[in-house]
Amino acid sequence: MKTTAYLPLLTYPDTVSVKAAAAAAKMAAAIGADLDVMIYSVDLPRSSASFGGMVINLSDMIRKVENDSREHSAGLAAAVQDMARSHGLAFQLDQRHAVPAEAIQGAVAEARYRDLAIVPWSEDNLTSRELAEALIFGAGRPVLLVPETHEAVAISHVAVAWDGSRVAARALADARPFLAAGARVTVLMAGDEKKLEAGIGDLLVDSLSRRGVTAAVRTVSAKDRPVAQALQAACGEVGAGLLVMGGYGHSRLRDFVVGGATQGVLAATTMPVLMSH
């Protein structure tokens, strides 16, 4: 069955860059997925405000924000279409207007009808991070974070952050489309944050080997680094093109409480990361 990826692109309050959107779309092409793109431009309520006894009409300011959002949406649409056609990528593209909260809620709901969601990641884009958290903990689908600087290539080596937990097992299951014939897996064991049960890495290697996947264990020591940084650095050392990990956390009173490694990756993503909750 063909894999369908969902790429939501938001333009408010932080706009996803054309470069980041193109990198995400190229990633879909590299993994052989069809792509459904949804670009959201913002609708804001009209209002007026009073400052020092003067009533200021905000409509003109709001109109400019909306126009800028629509112009950026058009630029994103053109860039994604050009990239998709040049790479022979099967895609569908749609555009919608929505208030900010409804855009994220809509993206989460729509992701449930695809196999995975792709989120373009760029440093300091808080809107993309909010979208990623909402998708990871609300969509019930794996989320692939793609840095805007990433040059997509076919993935033949996958690293899996493994602690034997339910969340890690879910992430591994969601990574099956990436474990094509001949793919290699490195099982990353990082015990700095919590004590890991002895032998669980070898158990996973044996399980993968019986399914025809070449796998090996690598112990990761964070030392003075955040564990998220250590995991991504280990991927570079072994030549893995994708890090697979569980998304740890939950929503409490609509505010996300995110685990340390998950938070670290969301704060500083240096390579493609498939995260699943």
For the chain, domain boundaries: 4-147, 157-276
Please give the pLDDT value at position 24: 95
Could you give the percent of the chain with pLDDT greater than 90?
Answer: 64
Could you give the percent of the chain with pLDDT greater than 70?
Answer: 87
Written out in words, the top-level CATH class of the domain with range 157-276 is alpha beta
Which has more confidence, 221 or 42? 42
Please give the pLDDT value at position 262: 64
Which has more confidence, 168 or 222? 168
CATH code for 4-147?
3.40.50.620
Q: Name the pLDDT band for 16 (thresholds 50, 70, 90).
A: very high
DSSP-derived secondary structure for the chain: ---EEEEEEE-SSSPPPHHHHHHHHHHHHHTT-EEEEEEEEE-----EEEETTEEEE-HHHHHHHHHHHHHHHHHHHHHHHHHHHHTT--EEEEEEEE-HHHHHHHHHHHHTTSSEEEEEE-TT-HHHHHHHHHHHHHSSS-EEEEETT-------EEEEE--S-HHHHHHHHHTGGG--TT-EEEEEEE-SSSPPPTTHHHHHHHHHHHTT-EEEEEEE--TTS-HHHHHHHHHHHHT-SEEEEE--EEEETTEEEE-HHHHHHHH---S-EEEE-
Please give the pLDDT value at position 144: 97
Say which range, 8-17, 128-137, 171-180, has the weakest mean pLDDT: 171-180
Please give the pLDDT value at position 226: 83
Residue 274 has pLDDT above 80, yes or no: yes
Q: Do domains 4-147 and 157-276 have the same CATH topology?
A: yes
Calculate mean pLDDT across residues 136-153.
93
Q: Name the pLDDT band for 57 (thresholds 50, 70, 90).
A: low
pLDDT, the chain, mean = 87
Calculate mean pLDDT across residues 93-105.
93
Please give the pLDDT value at position 228: 85
Say which range, 4-18, 35-49, 162-176, 235-249, has the weakest mean pLDDT: 35-49
